[in-house]
């Protein structure tokens, strides 16, 4: 258990993190809390500048869409983020801590599923789209509301749009685990089986997973002080 006064986390990071906890239900609060986590290691981060960069991405998309068509906004969002900016997963160096740091991802355009989805969610919601994070085993996806239905998007793999069956197949390939689903009498898949895999992440769960990812990375590389810093942030959460 970490010390209540915080012996290990960089004070600026801790203060920035605590400042967001009362507004964590907002996407802006979630983003700034994730940025605060990165400030434990990165000393040159200005959260306001990070938001300005993301707002600029949203402005680029908005400038290409005349109306409020969700389909047009989504298509142009993917055009900017995945075709022009080339955001995607860091498959070559997956367990690098930089993949969890929003400022680093904006520089490299490479990250983890959960942090790429956070960037995607923030930009999409600036455009008026509704996006949830989907907390699947060994992966993380976005779910975008489109004409009263929900569309699964994988920011890690270049914004690929997936059916639930395709998403499960991809998760199985990534994790090496099998997720058997129960068929109905008519040959379909029971909704409950899908729901158990595609769970919406609340913002506290979302942030907790980012911190746990970093703790595991630091633990693997025997960075004990950084492990303790993540425990402190987790305790605050």
What pLDDT sits at residue 137? 82
pLDDT digits (tens, 9 = 90+) for 139-163: 999 999 998 888 999 999 999 999 8
Distance between CA atoms of 139 and 172, rounded to whole angstroms?
Answer: 10
* pLDDT bracket for residue 5 (50, 70, 90): low
Is residue 229 pLDDT above 80, yes or no?
A: yes
Delimit the domains of the chain by residue range. Answer: 11-130+201-236
pLDDT digits (tens, 9 = 90+) for 56-73: 999 999 999 998 899 999
Element (H, E) at 200: strand 200-201
Element (H, E) at 220: helix 203-220
Indicate the pTM of the whole model. 0.91
Give φ, ψ of 176 to 5 degrees.
75, 15
What pLDDT sits at residue 69? 93
* pLDDT bracket for residue 169 (50, 70, 90): confident
* pLDDT bracket for residue 41 (50, 70, 90): very high
Task: Give the mean pLDDT of 104-115.
Answer: 98
pLDDT digits (tens, 9 = 90+) for 121-134: 999 999 999 999 99
What pLDDT sits at residue 164? 85
Contact between residue 214 and residue 230 where contact means Cβ atoms under 8 Å apart? yes
Is residue 183 pLDDT above 80, yes or no?
A: no
């Amino acid at each position: 258990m970490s010390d209540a006064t915080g012996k290990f986390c960089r004070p600026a990071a801790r203060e920035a993190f605590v400042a967001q906890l009362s507004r964590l239900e907002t996407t802006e609060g979630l983003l700034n809390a994730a940025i605060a986590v990165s400030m434990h290691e990165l000393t040159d981060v200005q959260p306001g500048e990070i938001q300005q960069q993301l707002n600029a991405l949203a402005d680029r998309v908005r400038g290409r869409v005349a109306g409020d068509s969700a389909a047009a906004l989504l298509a142009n969002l993917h055009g900017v983020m995945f075709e022009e900016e080339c955001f995607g997963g860091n498959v070559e160096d997956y367990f690098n801590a930089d993949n969890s740091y929003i400022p680093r991802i904006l520089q490299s355009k490479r990250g983890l599923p959960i942090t790429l989805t956070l960037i995607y969610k923030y930009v999409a919601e600036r455009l008026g789209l509704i996006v949830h994070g989907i907390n699947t085993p060994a992966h993380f996806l976005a779910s975008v509301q489109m004409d009263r239905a929900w569309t699964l998007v994988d920011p890690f793999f270049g914004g690929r749009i997936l059916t639930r069956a395709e998403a499960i197949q991809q998760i199985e390939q990534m994790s090496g685990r099998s997720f058997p689903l129960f068929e109905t009498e008519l040959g379909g898949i029971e909704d409950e089986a899908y729901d158990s895999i595609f769970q919406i992440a609340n913002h506290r769960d979302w942030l907790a997973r980012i911190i746990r990812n970093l703790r595991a990375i630091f633990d693997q590389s025997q960075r004990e002080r950084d492990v303790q810093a993540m425990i402190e942030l987790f305790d605050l959460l």
